[in-house]
Structure 1
Amino acid sequence: MSKPRKHFSELSRPQIVKMWNGCVDAAIEYAKKINMSGLSECGSHNIYTALKEAVFGEWEKAKEIRNRK
């Protein structure tokens, strides 16, 4: 039986910072993977895209882990 999930508002600051740092690390890795050279106002990839893709990737990984349990 899985343990109940915490509501986001119940997380401690260190837990939230840890999640944020994981997303930033994933965004950096994503930017390296696509060889992103910098910010772009009209380009298809910029730091916001990298963050979005990283957050989505982290969410997918968490979902897979949860489904394995």
Structure 2
Amino acid sequence: MSEAGIRTIDAFTYLSDEVSGVGNLGFTKHDAYNYIQKERIVKIETRDTNSLIRLFKERAIDDNMFA
């Protein structure tokens, strides 16, 4: 849901309504926020790593001394 742009609180509320209450979810609102934050960090780190690798490859092609 977060990838579709749905806010964490809205997704949490929707899911709790679907299972007839927060007690039936199996996780808390705090758990949901922690999970979403962890996923965001992983995406940022992956994107940064891929960008750095791409930059190094481009520099190696442009500058033989860089390799």
Whether TM exceeds 0.5 here: the answer is no
Structure with greater Cα Rg: 2
Which of structures 1 and 2 has the larger relative contact order (alpha carbons within 8 angstroms, sep 6+)?
1
The structure whose residues are more often helix, as a share, is 2
For Structure 1 versus Structure 2, the TM-score category normalised by the shorter chain is: 0.3 to 0.5
TM-score normalised by L of structure 1: 0.43
What TM-score do you get using the length of structure 2 for normalisation? 0.44
